[in-house]
Amino acid sequence: MRPVYIIDALRTPIGKYGGALSTIRPDDLAALVIRRLVERNPSIPAEAYDEVVLGCANQAGEDNRNVARMASLLAALPVTVPAETVNRLCASGMSAVANAANKIRVKEGDLYIAGGVESMSRAPYVMAKPSEAFSRSPEMVDSALGWRFVNPRMKEQYGIDAMGMTAEHVAEQYSITRQDQDAFAFRSQQKAKRSITSQRFFKEIRTEKVRSPQAMLRD
């Protein structure tokens, strides 16, 4: 199988829940990244990309349906460039990159844009359709976090703990103390500092002044 290479990488700033990016649609955020990525590589014609593959965990609101396709069209990629959305919950973006890499390995294509898109700030409340006429007990849940519309059999057989509670269970099962976690985090910070100081990630970490995301989207 052929080797696979990452020739460029780009992302939006990280935003807090309800923060500076909360006014921007997720498909617009993804479109911005795709457009800038294409602009940064002018030697590659836009029609040369074989596919856009984006991971998206939620898909309950503006990121519904095939958000990768919507973003690629909003980014002005040719309509002949297909796109697909991958949903593997929190591993969606990584799975999208892995899927694109696998397609290159088996010679299904040569050049892909792959990544992830999400905006939990803009995740909607969702309401189930009533199961009977004139129902007076609608079920509505916040789609930003956790399970929704759970199959009772799934809850009974496997449980429906959210990621935070699952982490607590894992820590208890494998005797991972808070001190162990703090030490791991400290070592990670030390490695990051050494890498930055030695300019190992000089090309990846840009220090020039960044304009607001709203201004970037207006361009």
The residue extents of the domains of the chain are 1-125
pLDDT attached to residue 206:
58
CATH number at 1-125: 3.40.47.10
Q: Is the sign of the CA dihedral 16, 18, 21, 26 positive or negative? A: positive
The pair phi, psi for residue 17, each rounded to 5°, is -60, 120
Q: What is the pTM of this model?
A: 0.81
Which residues of the chain, if any, have pLDDT below 70? 204-219
Residues 172-219: tens digit of each pLDDT: 999 999 999 999 999 999 999 999 889 887 776 655 444 554 554 555
pLDDT attached to residue 210:
47
Residue position matching structure tokens 């935070």: 164
Q: Is the sign of the CA dihedral 164, 23, 37, 196 positive or negative? A: negative
pLDDT attached to residue 200:
86
The pair phi, psi for residue 142, each rounded to 5°, is -85, 120
The pair phi, psi for residue 48, each rounded to 5°, is -80, -15
**3-state SS assignment for residue 176:** coil
